[in-house]
């Protein structure tokens, strides 16, 4: 079996197996590792978006002209980013 699965193949995985056969120990380990990798990828996208939110409010996001921000705007965004990071790191 090819272990270089696409995300679609992993997401469409069923108890009977992606290829119509029961999954063995190696398949279960590979699916677990793929699941962890996809979760990490999702978290990295969230963190990047939060970083861009901060850059936008500070006017430092490349290629984007931001409105002039007040201290209140910056503190509000900071609170929002902190809350988002707190929520995504809960386990």
pLDDT at 25: 83
What average pLDDT is seen over the chain?
A: 82
pLDDT tens per residue across span 11-49: 555 555 555 555 688 888 888 899 999 999 999 999 999
**Tokens read off for 26:** 């190696």
DSSP state of 3: S
Place 90 in a pLDDT band, splitting at 50, 70 and 90. confident
What percent of the chain is modeled with pLDDT above 70? 74
CA dist 26 and 23 (Å) reads 8
Q: Burial, 55: exposed, middle or buried (Cβ in 10 Å; 0-12, 13-18, 19+)?
A: middle
In the predicted model, what is the mean pLDDT of residues 68-76?
95
pTM score of the predicted model: 0.69
In the predicted model, what is the mean pLDDT of residues 55-76?
94
Distances from the Cα of 47 to the Cαs of 20, 42, 62, 69, in angstroms? 37, 9, 17, 22
CA dist 87 and 76 (Å) reads 17
CB of 69 closer than 8 Å to CB of 57: yes
């Amino acid at each position: 079996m090819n272990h270089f699965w696409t995300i679609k193949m992993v997401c469409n995985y069923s108890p009977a197996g992606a290829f119509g056969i029961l999954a063995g120990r190696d398949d279960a380990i590979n699916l677990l590792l793929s699941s962890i990798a996809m979760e990490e990828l999702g978290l990295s996208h969230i963190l990047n978006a939060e970083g861009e939110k901060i850059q936008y409010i500070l006017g430092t996001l490349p290629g984007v002209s931001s409105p002039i921000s007040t201290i209140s705007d910056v503190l509000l965004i900071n609170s929002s980013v902190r809350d988002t990071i707190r929520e995504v790191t809960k386990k």
